[in-house]
Structure 1
């Protein structure tokens, strides 16, 4: 049987994503075939589409040296179970699910290992659910596991209006922290509305020179050098790295490495929140579902696109000014 998918045959612009018909995947023994009802777009996708930064092509888990390793992008999916492998016990056809398979979401069907799949939150639509896995999972990993967040701490979220940032603000509040968000002027009201106690407009104030100190800086924007970021941390504070400034050759890898390289020589720590390599993503999805159903967490969707306009959605995300999540209805 056939399905439609956007296939990436070579690195390039969003035009390199070719809508074509290919064979529908067949689930392995421990896999579930999901009919994709919605997916989301994020920097992860366009970095792999461009094969940038070039230095990442030399790294394990990178996009591939000369040609893309991942032919069908789309790290997040929400949909319905179409078929299951013979060893699958938790799901059956018709179940509504969501997951972060890391690839394959830009298609009508995708196979996901059972251990990476979770029931979709009942209170969310497919589009809302598709906005959750990678971005909210990254925020959860960064604050809880890497940052060791505790009630009463002060948390600064740089990039508070983006996909990861909007989840990070809400999660930090759910953990009982005092939260400050950094964003542009058009999103100040939004960031305040999702729970930030204080909002810094980066066009009016340099947050690294405010004189205020925080226990955790969750940095999804990477807009300031690591040396400047250390100024906002308490003596034992931690700089949680999620992203950095875009660049063809080195960035955002260079921004992350510069922070990690200096971390052993100063009292503050720097560490990376890498949800792609996390082995507990299913458990994290269940945790996030509990917070969603408890009214403590909700996805912020900035734009919606139909399936046929995935290249346009990726192009918009690549501009770097998306508010919340960019979702696609399949």
Structure 2
């Protein structure tokens, strides 16, 4: 086992730059676990990376890789590792790097946990992004039972989980989604569902918590906060990055309702908490499509087209 299949690209560009090539299997370092990847999902940040819109971060050392989260089984462990053994079903997120759309990844135990026992690994690959919803609603916003929650981008990977979690936490959940996905988000538990094409911020009421997965119109949605309200954004307008980040920073010191922004880097405890929610039936996986690794470009293209319901999953084995 010297090399493996992986999704690669040799230049920045549209989805068509992606291809499946061969790269060396990761060399296991001290304190690492080698995971045989069964499936990964496509995340918005990977689209920006592939298109070259964050090249200050991704650089120009081609070929570059894609894929952030994964679900699979332990193939090998460093002798110093305890609590994990070959064959264990695990899921996780690479620590601030791309490369999970491949047959193997090497990570430290803190970046994974046991996968939920009640679902398959392909379904599980759609869920690690759910740790972002957990952090946003519980740690950052402190959502409480009886509060009013607005979820922007409610049908997407994070939004679809946030709707389910918000309802489980006892909130009244209002979902903003595309017109074709309104019944879908209601099925996830939304008390109200509105199309973003016909419903603007001025058409909505007051909310205790606003979760923004879209990254635009921060000012307009911040105005919807009730006294004591909290807004959490997990995205920003990449085309107007300076203005977006400037507003997020300014909100921490000016006016009512600070906008909390964070970039997820989930570790073991958060992944384990998510697994418990899944095993208890509070959160269920939402898979839009499952494609083989060879169709990675089609998955990127589909996510860019919008209208996703949950996650586009890439099945590796």
Q: Same fold (TM over 0.5)?
A: yes
1:324 is matched with which residue? 310
For residues 13-92 of structure 1, the aligned pairs below 5 Å read: 13-53=14-54, 57=56, 62-64=57-59, 67=60, 71-92=64-85
5+ residue gaps in structure 1?
none
The answer on whether the counterparts of 1:100 and 1:116 sit within 8 Å (CA) in structure 2 is yes
The answer on whether the counterparts of 1:139 and 1:164 sit within 8 Å (CA) in structure 2 is yes
- Which moved further from structure 2: 263-272 or 191-200? 263-272
1:275 partner SS: coil
1:272 is matched with which residue? 261
Q: 1:296 aligns with which of 282, 285, 304?
A: 282
For residues 1-330 of structure 1, the aligned pairs below 5 Å read: 1-53=2-54, 57=56, 62-64=57-59, 67=60, 71-101=64-94, 102-133=97-128, 135-206=129-200, 208-210=201-203, 212-223=205-216, 225-247=217-239, 250-251=240-241, 254-276=243-265, 278=266, 281-330=267-316
Distance in structure 1 (CA, Å) of the matches to 2:145 and 2:61: 43
Cα distance, 1:70 vs. partner?
8.6
Distance in structure 2 (CA, Å) of the matches to 1:305 and 1:142: 29
TM-score of the pair, normalised by structure 2: 0.93
Distance in structure 1 (CA, Å) of the matches to 2:243 and 2:5: 37
Distance in structure 1 (CA, Å) of the matches to 2:131 and 2:63: 21
Cα distance, 1:178 vs. partner?
1.2
5+ residue gaps in structure 2?
none
Cα distance, 1:51 vs. partner?
2.2
Distance in structure 2 (CA, Å) of the matches to 1:167 and 1:264: 30
The answer on whether the counterparts of 1:48 and 1:68 sit within 8 Å (CA) in structure 2 is no
Distance in structure 1 (CA, Å) of the matches to 2:28 and 2:169: 38
TM-score of the pair, normalised by structure 1: 0.90
Cα distance, 1:211 vs. partner?
5.0
* Stretches (4+) displaced over 4 A: none
Cα distance, 1:268 vs. partner?
0.8
The answer on whether the counterparts of 1:41 and 1:328 sit within 8 Å (CA) in structure 2 is yes
1:313 partner SS: helix
The answer on whether the counterparts of 2:9 and 2:62 sit within 8 Å (CA) in structure 1 is no
- Which moved further from structure 2: 235-244 or 158-167? 235-244
Cα distance, 1:85 vs. partner?
0.9
The answer on whether the counterparts of 1:11 and 1:49 sit within 8 Å (CA) in structure 2 is yes
Q: CA RMSD in A?
A: 1.8
Cα distance, 1:53 vs. partner?
4.8
